Structure formats: C-alpha cells, structure tokens
Structure 1
Amino acid sequence: MIRLLHIDSSARPGGSDEHPHGSHTRRLSARFIRQWRSHRPLDTVIHRDLALQPPTPVTGQWVHAAFTPPAQREPWMHDVLAESDTLIDELIAADVIVIGAPMYNFGMPSTLKAWIDNIVRVGRTFGFDRQRAGEPYWPLLADQRKRLVLLGARGDHGYDPGQRLHADNHVEAGVITPLRYIGIARADCIAIEYDEFRDERLQASIAAAEAQVDALVARLVEEMTKATSAEVSPLACAG
C-alpha cells in the first residue's frame, strides 16, 4: 500500500472548480487525489488542511525543547513538541507528499511555513553532530525514497525558470530546500498562472495544469506500483 499525505494551505475554502472565489491549489490537489484513487483506491490518504488547523508557530520554548536531548526533557518540553511530533509522524508515514502551495506576496502561506518549521527538527528529521567529520548536518529521511508533489497558483505569470519573474518566485525554493535538507529530494511542480487576469489565459493555464496533474499521477502510480529501483532525477522542478 502507498500512503499519501495531502496538505492544503490556501486560505480560500473549496476549489475554484466548485466556488467562484475558490482555490486553484485546492482544485489541483483534490484532482491529484481523485486521479490517484481512480488507479489505486485502497491506498491511504491523510488530509491536513493548514487553513483550518494552522500549526503553532515555533517559539523560544519550542527551540529550547527541540535542542534538549530527549532523555533530558522536562514534561513541559514534551507538551511543547507534541504537535510537531504529530506532524512529523504523518510525514514519516507518507510515501507521497502532495502540497497545495499558492503564492502569497511572492512566498508561501504563513501556515505552510509554520508546518515546515515544525517538521524540520533536529533528531527527528535531520541529524546534527559538532564532532562529525565533514558536514555536521545530515538528512534522516533520505533512505525513504519519498516523493514531493508541489501544486501552486500565481496571480501573475512568468515565474518558472528562465522566465521574467523567476527571481521573485520564493514558493518552490522555499518548500523544496528545507524538504531536501531532511532527505526528500525528488519533487514535481505544477502551477496555475494568470489568476489576476481572469481571461482566456487563466482558463488555458488551468486546463494545462490539470492535464499535467493527470499525467503526473499516471507516471507516479506506474513507477511506485512497479517499485522500480531506477533513479529519478532529483528536483524535477527548480525553485
């Protein structure tokens, strides 16, 4: 069985295919899950809606607790880290992580950043040893061969590599870099553009993104069902 973690972070309720002011990223992430289930209906899907359940932002107490060795933690430290533990457990259990990540002021929603800050944690998802030869940091999830699917939406256009606004796109890199740091190095990205234009270009972008989602699901299902050992190029999308 393949396990999927479905994360939505848009503040907009519902998908844009259901509501006039709905979310394009919710539309794409829901489509991804529907298409996946059409191929593999018995797979497990865990859905976490960060807009409805915003993760608690990291605090000084959180940092103190996280960097205290587990055997030395006081009871309050375990309480402070309980939510982080839950989020990390969900991530570790997943084979495919599907994230809806709209662009808000050139970056990701604050709720998604809070989720990342909670799951990038010393001793749980990355290791650190000052005495270690060479690089003192290392990923703890690198051997789990997880896949990241990042589904975005942008008001303007031209944010992909080589295009006019690529330097202003801090969404993909902002998500991919910390997840790669903990060992999730294989990513695919799809995004809808032209949302603010509300014309035929938006409709064409939606249609193209939905077709890409369908093709991506078919490819990943085939790859993962066959459990091929062939190497897949890391970071299929550049942030």
Structure 2
Amino acid sequence: MKVLHIDSSILGAASVSRQLSQAIVDQLQTKHADLAVDYLDLAAQPIPHLTGAILMGQDAEQAALGEKIIQQYLDADIVVVGAAMYNFGLTSTLKAWIDRISVAGKTFKYTENGPVGLAGEKKVYIASSRGGVYGENSPVDFQEGFLKTVFNFTGVNDVEIIRAEGVNMGPELKDQAISSALTQVQAL
C-alpha cells in the first residue's frame, strides 16, 4: 500500500499540521505492515509555481518534475496532507502542488456532461490546523473546502479532515485542539 505524505507548513517542528499528519501516517503504519511512504516537504523543497513556460511544456526540467508529481499522486492509495490555514487559505507551496496535479487528461477530463476525475479510488486525510476557530462551513474558510473540491474534482471522494483549530488562542485551547485531533487519529 502506497502513501503520499505531504507537509506544507513553514513552521517546521512547531507546526501543528505536521504533528497531525505524522500521527496519521504513524497510525496507518500500525494498521498496514506493507505501507510504503513517499514524503514531500513543500516548505523545505518547494515545487516551483506554475508559469506559462511550464504550462506550455517549454521547460523540460519542470515538465519532468510535473510528470513525477502527477505519478506520485496517481500511484498513491492514501494521501495525507498537512495543511495549515494561512490567511484563510492554503500555503502557496501547497497550491503549487495542486496546480501540478490538476492536469486535464491526467487527473481529470472534460466530457459533454462535465468534468470527470481520473485519479482513481484512494483515501485522503487532511491534517488541518488553524490559529482561530472557524468551524466546518465558515464563509472565510478557503482551506478545507478548497482541498475537498480539488480532490473531488480529480475523482477522489473519500476525504477525511482531522482538524485542530484555535491553536493560536492560548496554550489551553491549543492543547485541547491537538488532543481532540489526535483522538480522531487514533480512531482511524
């Protein structure tokens, strides 16, 4: 079983989303002895943002990287994404990864009835962290809803969010949020 584990927070060891994404991977390893993990740290090794030259295939090195990124995504049975909320949305590095996997003819196609995802059956876990408290359907949350939309668009409908929010609202609330999220992880 293949896992694609992605972290995007710029906070390194102080990151709550990284702590949660690693806990998810650790929990999966206790349940699946044959787990092979492919790890991307988008803060340490950012994927270059999409440019016209990359989109038009004029940069051979970036085209090869794009193919590798798409194949990692397609090959994964499970995707674990550490996604911290930055200014109501995603890190730009996570968005750069999304731009590289959202490719017509590879992860989705257009038909006369609309788009159809091609990424196959897989499970996605989103380790979501937020400094404030937003809830599930906040009008200013452009993080979790966006991620669900992207994965659904590529044909992945089994998306589970493990959320810790309020982590910048004092140590007590942070500890409670992390504890609650880790309890969810243990139930996977």
Query: CA–CA distance in 1 between the matches of 2:16 and 2:62?
Result: 34
1:157 aligns with 2:136: no
Q: Given that residues 51 and 111 in structure 1 are in contact (C-alpha distance below 8 angstroms), is that contact kept between their aligned partners in structure 2?
A: yes
Deviation (angstroms), 1:43:
1.2
Q: Which has the higher contact order (CA 8 A, sep 6+)?
A: 2
Q: Given that residues 134 and 141 in structure 2 are in contact (C-alpha distance below 8 angstroms), is that contact kept between their aligned partners in structure 1?
A: no
Deviation (angstroms), 1:113:
0.2
Q: 1:116 aligns with which of 98, 101, 119?
A: 98
Q: Given that residues 61 and 80 in structure 1 are in contact (C-alpha distance below 8 angstroms), is that contact kept between their aligned partners in structure 2?
A: no
Deviation (angstroms), 1:80:
3.3
Other-structure match for 2:38: 46
Query: CA–CA distance in 2 between the matches of 1:31 and 1:80?
Result: 32
Q: 1:139 aligns with which of 109, 117, 139?
A: 117
Q: Which moved more, 1:32-41 or 1:94-103?
A: 32-41
Other-structure match for 1:220: none
Question: Which one has the bigger strand percentage?
Answer: 2
Other-structure match for 1:3: 2
Alignment length (residue pairs) = 188
Query: CA–CA distance in 2 between the matches of 1:200 and 1:157?
Result: 14
Other-structure match for 1:167: 139
Query: CA–CA distance in 2 between the matches of 1:158 and 1:177?
Result: 18
Q: Could you say what the CA RMSD is over the residues aligned between the two structures, in angstroms?
A: 1.4
Instruction: Give the alignment's TM-score, normalised by structure 1.
Output: 0.75
Identity %: 31
Q: Which moved more, 1:196-205 or 1:178-187?
A: 196-205
- 1:83-134 per-position Cα deviation (integer Å, ceiling 9, x unaligned): 1111111011101100000000000100000000001012211123xxx533
Other-structure match for 1:212: 184
The runs of at least 4 aligned residues of structure 1 exceeding 3 Å deviation read: 76-80
Unaligned 5+ segments in structure 2 are none
Query: CA–CA distance in 1 between the matches of 2:129 and 2:56?
Result: 36
Other-structure match for 1:179: 151
Other-structure match for 2:61: 79
Larger radius of gyration: 1
Residue identity in the other structure for 1:126 = F
Unaligned 5+ segments in structure 1 are 15-21, 66-75, 217-239
